[in-house]
Amino acid sequence: MTPATAPAVDLDALLEDVRTLVECESPSADLAAVARSADVVASVGERWLGVAPERIVLEGRTHLRWRLGDGPSRVLLLGHHDTVWPIGTLARRPFAVEDGVLRGPGCFDMLAGLAMAFQAAAGTEGVTVLVTGDEELGSPSSRALVEEEGARAEAVLVLEASADGGALKTGRKGVSLYDVDVSGRAAHAGLEPERGTNAAVELAHVVLALTGLGDATAGTTVTPTRASAGTTTNTVPAAATIAVDVRARTAAEQERVDAAVRALAPVLPEAGLTVRGGPNRPPLEETASAELFERAAAVAARLGLPAPTSASVGGASDGNFTAGVGTPTLDGLGAVGGGAHAEDEHVLVAELPGRTALLRALVADLLAEPLAPLVAPTNPAGRAGGGRP
């Protein structure tokens, strides 16, 4: 329950806004659905913020931006309105609130966070609200927009859902995505296999080399995922490929693995390797969020709210991009609940008022007293790779 000292939050309006957003399905890959969702998000946001957003359409995907006030933008509230759920999910999993639990596709990741952002930003100046439409795909069209707005701001607050137990996300691993292509030489598997160069065997060497690049003590994972080789059961494979997912807590680890992947060399004579892809998102290192987290804790104490907890997580968000350009970034300020991308996706209603009050008061605190800027990384992650984080 929200203490009397916290700014008033209209819970009924918040729940109705979440219903409105959830009931407009917005799978990322469906451009028409994302455009319809943008219309709905724009309407909800305009009602709270008093102005219509700029509509920014990039590669057919609709993003929305509100710049509040006439002066420079100092605080960026960042979120996305696309979801992972295909059209038709709502029919079998309709919006519902029962026994204090809100359910519906996309409610936790992250439509409730958008509704919170609009209430928190209402009546402010010096705030930008940016809502993108392709985050679940890895932000292929919106990355430059997110980085541009992040670089303009003194602080970025990301309305992605919380970590377990409501923890704020003070660290996110960077993501690198690769495809390693193996070339060999075909031959008849029964008559003369020795005349071939088996790309599947070379692929096995590649997989073992890749798995050796992880570092559990540093939190670095290198995971071979989708693989294929060969064409028929009686032919020595002439080609093979493996997809690779890399997660790293620090830019130094991301760069170490990138160099090692690019240095892979074939083991079999006459085999060849080609590496495609690279870093997709830089890490959100805990140094980028430390001061913001301290400010959030101080604000919570003033409001009489429970002290926030923190967590570092493996999944990435657009907050990785804003931290990567050197702007203090705090993530996971959205709803408390669970089940992101899963059938049991849900939001705890009782947590919404206090969470929204904290966000609103933190925005006011940052507008009253800015943060010191971070030092931008010297080798931010490149744009290669693409794909979902």
Sequence-distant (6+) residues with CB within 8 A of 263 are none
Task: Kindly list the distances between the CA atom of residue 162 and the CA atoms of 83, 141, 358, in Å, as whole numbers in the listed order.
Answer: 16, 25, 13
Terminal alpha carbon distance of the chain: 34
Say if residue 270 is exposed, middle or buried (CB neighbours under 10 Å; 0-12, 13-18, 19+).
Answer: exposed
Task: Kindly report the backbone phi and psi dihedral angles of residue 190, in degrees, each rounded to the nearest multiple of 5, phi listed first.
Answer: -100, -40
The answer to whether 128 touches 77, Cβ cutoff 8 Å, is yes
Q: Where are the alpha helices (DSSP H) in the chain?
A: 11-22, 31-49, 89-92, 112-121, 143-152, 199-211, 251-262, 290-303, 319-324, 352-368
Residue 306 DSSP label? P
List beta partners, residue 83: 27
Rg (CA), the chain: 23
The strand pair at 337-338 and 346-348 is best described as antiparallel
Catalytic residues: 82, 135
- Indicate the SS3 state at residue 243: strand
